[in-house]
């Protein structure tokens, strides 16, 4: 009914809501689905279904019908509503003669009430009458509180009359407004009967003028501290404040300690009243309505608060007026500290320890976590953070058995209610309370609305409590003391300050230069006299300041620059930090360092990008000399090894680098000294050194002084070596861009975890000083001449012996290499053509550059072609190809098979050069291995270990190395070498039994003859035909006759090509089904070995026999894969689609469709044709046997000659539609 009346008045006051499709759809949905909706019934359900399921025209019609219905229901008649709230009953106020239920009506301070939803009616109260005091005599109040017990909650029913409904559409807001007036406020007990709206009425709250706040107490200077608290009417016990146990966290509106604590925090920090939200909160609590209206210029409703919040001058006037006229009175009324307090704490008697004669207890200070110097006491004063010096409360209280028995009996005799049957006593926790200083707000928030989280939390401060005594009582009121019962409280003891092994250090007297002073230095050093002015005007602070305050801010910043700029030629200080590396006995290496500027005090900072700092002598920041006696204490306990530092610098030069919006400059300074600050005493110097001497290196020396520190006899085959090799073979000098890239790559090698170097020095020694930072553009320009000369010396001394690192899946690594998958013309110089390369790479199971273990054979590393590149990874950017033959390998186990690393020492030989117009020279190299080092994989807890070192006299396989072709001076004119790539060692020879057969059927048989053999071997119940789908491209093994046995446990497939093979068998397959675990795998394999030969090639669940036309080793690419049949059309003997359900054994898996699910052969026909992989293939048998724990439930066997099959299906059609077919011999 309530929702109906609200919607009727919304529609009448603001008819435009009927055109809002979203609101109308929401209403219709609620009418049809909610039991307590405004309107319900079949009519609404039908409309909702039409709207949900109909077309857009149906939905328009539904909206029209609903609009007509609601228009007929509209009314603007006055409406009276009742707002019901369940509120806690506060302590009885003897001064007022009743219970002060502040905020019980729930009416907003702003005078706006939102009634209903989607959209709501905004009820505007013309006046805010006080409706908070429930008058009641003491005797009635005592009876009421006794009846309520621990559940001190009452119902407050506020009746509000609404009239004069008007639209708000013109203001851009949805929902109408109405004038509102509070009619009466009544107080009821909570309802006791299910479904009852209101409980028994216990009183009426008078609705009248605003309630004046009680006067603040006035206390003299000599008044004892406890009396200043008593003046607020807080509970006390003798000379102590008394805080009773709270069963829950009470809201601050009923906390008797709220006002005195709030005023005490305000007295400790008056700046808390420096924001508009705080002033509004204090005025609401402590000022009369007349004073509030005078302060804000009216009642602070939403409109007034929005106006004040958006006007900084009005806001400032209100805050200052409050500080002059009202703040002194509030501070004068604040109670004083320290003051003693007693807190009641329930103590649960958990158990009794008979061995030690002690009660095991638990003190209910829930939520009290540990704090610096003690523990928090959150239940003392809710929302005030109170820290005590208590570290641990007692959990055991010594008490002899007789007294303990009597104590529990006494508890039961008193009938103290607990509900859980656990005995409880109460502890009086006596403390001395001292105040803390709250954190003052940094700025005025300047935002106020009734939804903003500004309440008493704005005026709060920390409290400290010092433990005094712990006494035990039988009752929570602390009237019946238990003598002789005591518990030990562990208190915080300040730790004895240890002597710092680093000492205290000298005091820091120099002041680091802030960013405005540094702008003055840049202007003087070359950025231009106008740079300081431009930096000020383009700063964010100046641009974001209004035109009235901007000139004063500009003058302040100019003054800061003038006063902060040091004298010309005089060193100044800049803050920063540094991270130390390893100690070498006399100094620490510097891993990282940073130089910055100090933040200006009481001034805004310049724009972020207005000034950058460059260091003219970064090489001086490589080592930090430290006395050995100080070195160890410096890093002890400092795992990051990071220290704050102050750098003593002198200006060198500056360059203007303005952006579109900001004046900017780059300032170059020279470091003359370093002050390392004490890690635990920020204003003291731990170490002071002059700028280090330059470490000798090719980078820091002159070009004419560059020399080689080392001449390696073998180099790593990394990007650095690739650069040198390509430059030497191409001749001439590289351009600056190529040299720049090479320089950065060299820094990466010297300063990262390079897998070639490990813990040793890099080949050729170091070009950069050790620990040198990543080169900047200025560094690169400075070092290029020396690097060019260093490279010239290295090219002349470059050996043709290298170490090649290979590991699985190197793509994306920093090594810049990978196995080549595309044949390039230059590879012909390796001795194989494109077909041979593709066969090498696209073998069905064995790919190059991987660890292999053939069945019955020794493990080996399958060689191939490595591609190297310097930039982007693609075929066109390959710079060098390196052929690696097959190599011997140790037997790897576990994860080492895929996570190994192989270091190959090789002798290099250039076999071809390929000049490319507009691109770098491309090389082809052959590798002759001399030694292999196999390393294991690694984990988070186990490092790599050396598995084997294998000297190589000649590669594994049929060919030891490539035949050395003549190397032409340019181009690719030399005939390719004739030697084939090395091949792996052959497995034990297969016992030949070819020609193979399946169930007696051999390849090349006439289909009719083969069918007779099948019929003699099993009782045929069904005959099926498989053909390719109409219009499909050529498919392998897509023509077949399939015979199904009577017991449905055996299928035989005869694969033919009717238009090409002349009705002869090209492949034969057999499927056996026995049920789970029906076959013993060993017996099955023995039978297959007896028939087809021992030592089949085994890959997972597949076994292969034969495959080679020459009778040599097994060729993996000659074996067909076995899997599901991808496509095909099935017909039965009558030419109809078979009923596969009748051909499937009961209990088979749900997706099993009998012969249609038979494991079938698969062949990548296009790939075999393209690369000619089938040319050396012969008859092969493939057996698919999935096994579990040595048993198998099914088996599929296929026999095919891949070469013959592909020749037949790709050859010409036979005459007369293929009656005779192609002649072939099997």
**DSSP per-residue codes, 808-820:** S--TTSTT-EEE-
Q: Which of 260-274, 299-313, 1170-1184 has the highest mean pLDDT?
A: 260-274
Mean local confidence (pLDDT), 1035-1045: 87
Q: What is the average per-residue pLDDT within 317-331?
A: 90
Task: Give the pLDDT confidence of 463-472 residue by residue, as tens digits.
Answer: 888 999 999 9
- 1049 versus 983: the higher-pLDDT residue is 1049
The stretch 959-972 carries a mean pLDDT of 33
CA 680 centroid distance within chain? 33
Strand 864-869 and strand 878-884: pairing? Answer: antiparallel
pLDDT at 815 over 60: no
Q: Which residue has the higher pLDDT, 1165 or 336?
A: 336
Of 383-392, 854-863, 893-902, 1214-1223, which gets the smallest average pLDDT? 1214-1223
* pLDDT confidence bin for 551, thresholds 50/70/90: very high
| pLDDT band at residue 787 under the 50/70/90 scheme | very high
State pLDDT tens for residues 754-770.
Answer: 777 665 678 888 888 77
Task: Confirm if 1219 and 1061 have CB atoms less than 8 A apart.
Answer: no
Where does 988-1112 have alpha helices with state H?
Answer: 1007-1017, 1081-1092
Q: Which range has the worst mean pLDDT, 2-6, 213-217, 794-798, 883-887? A: 213-217
- Percent of the chain residues topping a pLDDT of 90: 19
Q: Which two tokens stand for residue 1114?
A: 């097994």
Span 1063-1088, mean pLDDT? Answer: 87
Question: Are the C-beta atoms of residues 1104 and 1092 closer than 8 Å to each other?
Answer: no
- pLDDT at 456 exceeding the cut of 50: no
Q: What is the pLDDT of residues 376-430, one digit of tens each?
A: 787 778 777 888 888 888 888 898 988 888 888 888 776 655 556 678 888 899 9
Cα separation, 853 vs 985, in Å, equals 10
pLDDT at 170 over 60: no
3-state secondary structure 450-498: CCCCCCHHHCCCCEEEEEEEEEEECCCCCCCECCCCCCCCEECCCCCCC
What pLDDT sits at residue 988?
A: 32
Tell me the mean pLDDT in the region 286-298.
Answer: 80
528 or 849, which is more confident? 528
Q: Give the pLDDT confidence of 741-755 residue by residue, as tens digits.
A: 899 988 888 887 777
- Name the more confident of 456 and 848: 848
End-to-end CA distance of the chain: 94
User: What gap in Å lies between CA 68 and CA 58, rounded to an integer?
Assistant: 16
pLDDT in tens, 616-653: 888 788 888 898 989 999 898 888 999 999 999 999 88
529 pLDDT tier (thresholds 50, 70, 90): confident
Q: What pLDDT was estimated at residue 454?
A: 40
Angle at 847 between CA 841 and CA 850, to 5 degrees: 135
Q: For the whole model, what pTM was predicted?
A: 0.41
The CA distance from 863 to 883, in Å, is 8
Q: Can you tell me the mean pLDDT for 202-225?
A: 74
Choose the weakest-confidence range: 302-311, 460-469, 694-703, 882-891: 694-703
Asked if residues 129 and 143 have their Cβ atoms less than 8 Å apart, the reply is no
Q: Which residue has better confidence, 95 or 510?
A: 510
pLDDT of 258 over the 50 cut? yes
pLDDT value at 931 more than 90: yes
DSSP string, 560-593: HHHHHSPPTT--EEEEEEEEEEEE-SSEEEEEEE
- What is the average pLDDT score of the chain? 80
- What is the model's pLDDT at position 363? 83
Q: What is the mean pLDDT of residues 812-819?
A: 62
Partners of 1022 in the beta sheet? Answer: 1044
- Residue whose entry in the numeric block shows the structure tokens 């193979």: 996
Give the tokens for residue 773: 């930072």
Query: Does 1210 have pLDDT greater than 80?
Result: no
Q: Is the pLDDT of residue 189 over 80?
A: yes
User: Residue 187 — very low, low, confident or very high, per pLDDT cuts 50/70/90?
Assistant: very high
Distance CA 1092, CA 1087 (A): 9
Per-residue pLDDT, averaged over 7-12, amounts to 86
> Does the structure show a pLDDT above 70 at 850?
yes
Query: Which is more confident, 357 or 296?
Result: 357
Q: What is the mean pLDDT of residues 530-559?
A: 92
Pairing of strands 878-884, 919-935: parallel
Over the stretch 465-503, which tens digit does the pLDDT of each residue have?
899 999 998 888 888 888 888 888 878 777 766 777 777
Whether pLDDT at 573 is above 90:
yes
Which pLDDT does position 522 carry in this prediction? Answer: 93
Q: How far apart are CA 743 and CA 775, in angstroms?
A: 9
914 membership: H or E segment, kind and range: strand 901-916
The mean-pLDDT minimum among 181-190, 241-250, 1125-1134, 1209-1218 falls in: 1209-1218
Q: Which of 888-892, 961-965, 1111-1115 has the highest mean pLDDT?
A: 888-892
Interval 349-353 mean pLDDT = 88
Which tokens sit at 219?
């206390």
Task: Determine how β-strand 587-595 pairs with β-strand 642-656.
Answer: unpaired
The answer, yes or no, to whether residue 724 has pLDDT greater than 90, is yes
- 982 pLDDT band, cuts 50/70/90, is very low
How many CB atoms are closer than 10 A to CB 1113?
Answer: 19
Rounded CA-CA distance 710/713 in Å is 10
Q: How far is CA 782 from the centre of its chain?
A: 41
Most distant CA atoms of the chain, gap in Å: 131
Q: What is the pLDDT of residue 128?
A: 65
Query: How many Å is the Cα radius of gyration of the chain?
Result: 47
pLDDT confidence of 910, banded at 50, 70, 90? very high
Asked whether residue 1070 carries a pLDDT value surpassing 90, the answer given is yes
| Per-residue model confidence (pLDDT) at position 954 | 63
Percent of the chain at pLDDT exceeding 70: 82
CA angle 337–342–348, rounded 5-degree value: 145
Task: Give residue 1105's pLDDT.
Answer: 84
Please check the confidence at residue 36 and state whether its pLDDT lies above 70. Answer: yes
pLDDT of residue 275 exceeding 90: no
Of 76-80, 111-115, 404-408, the least confident: 111-115
168 vs 933 pLDDT, higher one = 933
Q: What is the pLDDT of residue 960?
A: 36
What was the pLDDT predicted at 311?
Answer: 83
pLDDT tens-digit series, residues 689-706: 887 555 567 877 677 788
> Of 298-307, 314-323, 519-528, 778-787, which range is least confident?
298-307
Q: pLDDT tens for residues 532-542?
A: 999 999 999 99
pLDDT at 441 over 80: no
Selection from 205, 112, 198, 208 nearest residue 162 by Cα: 112
430 neighbors 469 (Cβ within 8 angstroms): yes
**Residue 888 confidence (pLDDT) above 60:** yes
Please give the pLDDT value at position 874. Answer: 66
pLDDT recorded at residue 968: 31
Where does the pLDDT of residue 875 fall: very low under 50, low under 70, confident under 90, or very high at 90 and above?
A: low
- CA distance linking residue 666 with residue 669, whole number of Å: 10
- pLDDT given for residue 109 in this prediction: 59
The pLDDT assigned to 574 comes to: 94
Q: How many CA atoms lie within 13 A of 453 on its CB side?
A: 1
* Number of alpha helices (DSSP H) and beta strands (DSSP E) in the chain: 28, 55
Segments making up each domain of the chain, as ranges:
2-77, 213-492, 512-690, 703-799, 803-951, 997-1218
């Amino acid at each position: 009914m309530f929702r109906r009346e609200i919607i009727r008045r919304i529609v009448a006051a603001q008819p435009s809501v009927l055109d809002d499709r979203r609101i109308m759809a929401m209403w219709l949905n609620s009418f049809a689905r909610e039991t307590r909706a405004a309107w319900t019934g079949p009519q609404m359900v039908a409309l909702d279904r039409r709207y949900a399921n109909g077309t857009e025209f149906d939905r328009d019609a539904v909206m029209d019908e609903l609009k007509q219905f609601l228009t007929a229901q509209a009314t603007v008649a006055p409406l009276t509503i009742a707002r019901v709230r369940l509120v806690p009953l506060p302590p009885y106020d003897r001064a007022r003669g009743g219970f002060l239920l502040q905020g019980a009506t729930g009416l907003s301070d702003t005078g706006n009430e939102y009634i209903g939803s989607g959209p709501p009616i905004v009820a505007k109260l013309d006046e805010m009458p006080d409706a908070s005091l429930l008058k009641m005599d003491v005797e009635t109040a005592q009876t009421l509180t006794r009846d309520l017990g621990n559940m001190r909650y009452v119902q407050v029913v506020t009746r509000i009359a609404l009239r004069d409904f008007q639209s708000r559409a013109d203001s851009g807001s949805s929902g109408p407004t109405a004038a509102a007036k509070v009619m009466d406020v009544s107080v009821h007990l909570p309802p006791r009967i299910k479904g009852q709206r209101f409980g028994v009425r216990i009183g009426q709250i008078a609705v009248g003028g605003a309630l004046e706040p009680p006067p603040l107490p006035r206390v003299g200077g000599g008044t004892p501290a406890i009396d200043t608290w008593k003046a607020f009417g807080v509970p006390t016990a003798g000379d102590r404040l008394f805080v009773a146990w709270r069963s829950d966290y009470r809201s601050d509106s009923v906390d008797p300690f709220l006002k005195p604590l709030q005023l005490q925090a305000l007295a400790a920090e008056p700046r808390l009243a420096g924001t508009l939200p705080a002033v509004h909160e204090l005025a609401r609590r402590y000022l009369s309505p007349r004073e509030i209206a005078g302060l804000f210029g009216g009642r602070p409703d939403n409109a007034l608060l929005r106006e004040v919040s958006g006007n900084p001058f009005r806001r400032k006037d209100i805050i200052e007026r409050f500080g002059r006229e009202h703040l002194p009175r509030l501070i004068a009324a604040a109670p004083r500290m320290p003051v003693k307090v007693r807190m009641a704490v329930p103590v649960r008697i958990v158990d009794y320890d008979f061995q030690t004669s002690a009660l095991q207890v638990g003190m209910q200070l829930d939520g009290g976590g540990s704090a610096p110097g003690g523990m928090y006491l959150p239940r003392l004063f809710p929302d005030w953070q109170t820290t005590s010096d208590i570290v641990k409360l007692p959990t055991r209280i010594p008490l002899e058995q007789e007294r303990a028995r009597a104590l529990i009996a006494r508890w039961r005799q008193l009938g103290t209610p607990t509900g859980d049957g656990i005995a409880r006593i109460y502890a009086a926790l006596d403390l001395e309370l001292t105040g803390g200083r709250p954190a003052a707000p940094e700025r005025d928030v300047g935002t106020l609305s009734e939804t903003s989280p500004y309440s008493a939390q704005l005026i709060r401060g920390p409290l400290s409590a010092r433990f005094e005594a712990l006494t035990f009582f039988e009752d929570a009121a602390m009237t019946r003391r238990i003598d002789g019962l005591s518990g030990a409280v562990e208190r915080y003891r300040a730790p004895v300050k240890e002597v710092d092994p680093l000492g205290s250090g000298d005091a820091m007297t120099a002041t680091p230069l802030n960013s405005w002073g540094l702008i003055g230095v840049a202007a003087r050093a070359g950025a231009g006299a106008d740079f300081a002015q431009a930096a000020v005007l383009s700063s964010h602070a100046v641009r974001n300041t209004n035109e009235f305050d901007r000139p004063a801010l500009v003058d302040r910043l100019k003054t800061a620059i003038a006063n902060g700029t040091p004298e010309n030629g005089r060193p100044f200080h800049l803050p920063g930090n540094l991270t130390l590396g390893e100690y070498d006995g006399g100094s620490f290496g510097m891993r990282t360092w940073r130089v910055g500027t100090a933040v200006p005090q009481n001034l805004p900072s310049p724009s972020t990008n207005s000034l950058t700092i460059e260091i003219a002598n970064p090489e001086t920041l490589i080592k930090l000399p430290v006395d050995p006696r100080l070195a160890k204490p410096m890093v002890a306990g400092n795992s990051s090894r990071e220290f704050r530092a102050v750098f003593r610098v002198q200006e060198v030069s500056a360059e203007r680098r303005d952006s579109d919006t900001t004046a900017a400059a780059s300032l170059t300074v020279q470091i003359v000294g370093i002050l390392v600050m004490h890690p635990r005493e920020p204003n003291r110097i731990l170490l002071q050194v002059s700028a280090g001497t330059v470490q000798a290196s090719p980078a820091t020396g002159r070009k004419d002084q560059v020399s080689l520190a080392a001449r390696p006899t073998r180099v790593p085959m990394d990007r650095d070596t690739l650069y040198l090799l390509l430059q030497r073979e191409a001749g001439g000098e590289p351009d600056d861009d190529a040299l720049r890239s090479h320089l950065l790559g060299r820094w990466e090698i010297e300063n990262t975890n390079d897998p070639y170097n490990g813990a040793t020095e890099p080949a050729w020694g170091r070009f950069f000083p050790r620990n040198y930072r990543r080169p900047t553009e200025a560094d690169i320009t400075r070092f290029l001449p020396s690097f060019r000369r260093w490279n010239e010396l290295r090219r002349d001394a470059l050996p043709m012996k290298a170490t090649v690192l290979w590991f699985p899946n190197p793509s994306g690594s920093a090594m810049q290499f990978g196995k080549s998958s595309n044949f390039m013309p230059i590879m012909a110089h390796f001795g194989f053509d494109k077909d041979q390369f593709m066969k090498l790479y696209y073998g069905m199971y064995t790919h190059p550059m991987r660890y292999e273990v053939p069945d019955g054979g020794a493990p080996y590393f399958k060689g191939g072609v490595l591609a190297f590149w310097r930039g982007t990874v693609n075929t066109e950017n390959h710079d060098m190809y390196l052929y690696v033959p097959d190599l011997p390998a140790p037997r790897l186990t576990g994860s080492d098979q895929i996570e190994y690393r192989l270091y190959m020492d090789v002798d290099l030989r250039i076999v071809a050069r390929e000049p490319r117009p507009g691109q770098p020279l491309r090389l082809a190299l052959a590798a002759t291995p001399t030694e292999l080092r196999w390393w294991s994989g690694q984990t988070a807890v186990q490092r790599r270990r050396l598995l084997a070192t294998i000297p190589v006299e000649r590669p594994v396989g049929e060919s030891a190395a490539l035949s050395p072709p003549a190397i032409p001076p340019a181009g690719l004119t030399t005939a390719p070498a004739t030697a084939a790539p090395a091949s792996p060692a052959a497995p034990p020879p297969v016992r030949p039994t070819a020609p193979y057969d399946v169930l007696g059927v051999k390849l090349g048989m006439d289909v009719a003859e083969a069918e007779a053999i099948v019929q003699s071997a099993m009782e045929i119940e069904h005959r099926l035909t498989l053909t390719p789908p109409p219009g499909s491209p050529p498919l392998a093994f897509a023509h077949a006759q399939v015979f199904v046995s009577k017991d449905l446990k055996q299928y035989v497939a005869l694969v033919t090509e009717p238009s090409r093979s002349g009705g002869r068998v090209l492949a034969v397959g057999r499927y056996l089904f026995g049920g789970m675990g029906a076959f013993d795998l060993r017996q099955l394999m023995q039978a297959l070995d007896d028939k087809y030969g021992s030592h089949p090639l085994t890959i997972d669940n597949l076994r292969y026999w034969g495959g080679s036309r020459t009778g040599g080793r097994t060729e993996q690419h000659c074996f067909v894969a076995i899997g599901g049949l991808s496509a095909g059309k099935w017909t039965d003997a009558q030419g109809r689609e078979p009923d596969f359900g009748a051909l499937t054994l009961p209990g088979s898996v749900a997706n099993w469709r009998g012969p249609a699910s038979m494991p079938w052969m698969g062949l990548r026909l296009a790939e075999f044709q393209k690369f000619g992989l089938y040319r050396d293939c012969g008859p092969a048998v493939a057996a698919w046997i999935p096994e579990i724990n040595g048993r198998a439930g099914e088996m599929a066997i296929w026999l095919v000659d891949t070469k013959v099959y592909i020749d037949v299906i790709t050859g010409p059609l036979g005459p007369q539609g293929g009656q005779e077919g192609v002649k072939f011999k099997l």
